[in-house]
Amino acid sequence: MHTQQRLAVEIAGLGSYLPERILTNSDLEKMVDTSDEWIFPRTGIRERHLLADDEATSDMATAAARTALESAGTAAADLDAIVVATCTPDYFFPATGCLVQAALGAENAMSFDLEAACSGFVFALTWAAGVIASRLAHNVLVIGAEALSRFTDYTDRRSCILFGDAAGAAVLRPAQNGGEFIYAELGSDGSRPNVLITPAGGARAPASHDTVERRDHYMKIQGREVFKAAVNKLTELLATLPERTGVSLDEVKMVIPHQSNVRIINSAFQRAGVDLSKAYMNIDRVGNTSSASIPVAMTEAVERGALERGDLVLFLAFGGGLTWGSVLIRY
């Protein structure tokens, strides 16, 4: 999908939730054969948050949503739609979006989940901007929420060092503060499903004693393949932005990339000739939180005063599917 429209839709409020429990690199040293000296230089990660035993994705999503609604000054009952981007839902069904709707008391909102792995938030944001612009909805709550620790194999040192749990939320509505949704370029390539996959538990390999013994309900990643594909696509998205939008990267106040790996982001910026200081990074403290990473980072940037109303912000995402997205907004 490829659109370029000037839509008077803005992010009215933001919120995030990080669970209290923290897993550091030195904690991981006691679980698998690894070290902070290996993890930090290769990923940029020092620690990540993990949800409590009695928490699930919808709890984190609801907490982030409450803050976003409060900051937007929007009542839950005034929401027309809730979309939760997640690849780690509470259940296959009912949708996590429906659980969030009930927890918030958003009785007038249609609610559902959207699965596009690490690109989920930018896909959901684009859907929301479209339905508001076409007057199908007025107030839409977009959430990225992931309980990745529940699908992480803590005996596999190649993957368990990467992931954390979190939720981030944004309330979208017709612009009142001069914000706008400027450009979206979203894409997918489903030809290589195995590079990032949770092989079992779905219709292809339903849960069985064997699938559990093979640990196939955990995420499997081909790190090098994902790394190369992510760098190539993110470089292309950065390099083509000016010709596609007429907006130069000098005019963009901040790029908020999906926090996948500091080296993926560094390489893409370097190859596209973009100053790395434009990138907002918090991966050292949160790890890779898939669809939650962009709204969590943006909430933090706004809270710290690094982003203000009127600033141009570029979201960049790449993840399982494979999927990717580049979304330019005026905050």
CB of 154 to ligand ACO, least distance (A): 11
CB of 273 to ligand ACO, least distance (A): 21
Cα(129)–Cα(236) distance, rounded to whole angstroms?
A: 24
Out of 121, 269, 318, 324, the residue judged to bind ligand ACO by CB under 6 A: 318
Which residues 109-148 are close enough to bind ligand ACO by CB under 6 A?
A: 118
Task: Please give the DSSP secondary-structure letter assigned to residue 177.
Answer: S
Q: Does 230 bind ligand ACO (CB under 6 A)?
A: yes
For the CA atoms of 107, 110, 113, 114, the dihedral, rounded to the nearest 10 degrees, stands at: -150
- Give how far Cα 302 sits from Cα of 11, 16, 251, 267, Å: 12, 11, 18, 26
Q: Which stretch binds ligand ACO (CB under 6 A): 51-59, 186-194, 221-229, 274-282?
A: 221-229
Out of 288, 289, 323, 326, the residue judged to bind ligand ACO by CB under 6 A: 288
- Number of residues in contact with ligand ACO, rule: CB under 6 A? 23
Cα(91)–Cα(84) distance, rounded to whole angstroms?
A: 13
CB of 148 to ligand ACO, least distance (A): 9
**Are β-strands 180-188 and 2-7 bridged in parallel, bridged antiparallel, or unpaired?**
antiparallel
Q: Which stretch binds ligand ACO (CB under 6 A): 34-42, 88-96, 105-113, 207-215?
A: 34-42
Residue whose CB is less far from ligand ACO, 36 or 311: 36
3-state helix, strand, coil in the chain (%, to 5): 40, 25, 35
Q: Does 280 bind ligand ACO (CB under 6 A)?
A: no
Q: Does 86 bind ligand ACO (CB under 6 A)?
A: no
Out of 8, 34, 36, 205, the residue judged to bind ligand ACO by CB under 6 A: 34
CB of 247 to ligand ACO, least distance (A): 25
CB of 159 to ligand ACO, least distance (A): 7
The residues assigned a catalytic role are 118, 258, 288
Q: What are phi and psi of 130, to 5 degrees?
A: -65, -45
Interior angle at CA 221, CA 144 and CA 154, nearest 5: 85
306 SS3 class: coil
Out of 65, 167, 221, 256, the residue judged to bind ligand ACO by CB under 6 A: 221
Residue whose CB is less far from ligand ACO, 123 or 318: 318
Mapped to the 3 state alphabet, what secondary structure does 123-155 carry?
A: HHHHHHHHHHHCCCCCCEEEEEEEEHHHHCCCC
Instruction: Give the residue ranges of DSSP H helices in the chain.
Output: 25-29, 36-43, 57-72, 96-104, 120-133, 209-213, 223-245, 262-272, 283-286, 293-303
Task: Please give the DSSP secondary-structure letter assigned to residue 279.
Answer: B
189 token code pair? 């390539």
Residue whose CB is less far from ligand ACO, 95 or 316: 316
Q: Which stretch binds ligand ACO (CB under 6 A): 39-47, 131-139, 248-256, 274-282?
A: 39-47
CB of 186 to ligand ACO, least distance (A): 15
Using CB under 6 A as the criterion, which residues of the chain lie in contact with ligand ACO when the complex forms? 34, 38-39, 42-43, 118, 157-158, 161-162, 196, 221, 223-224, 226-227, 230, 260-261, 288, 318-320
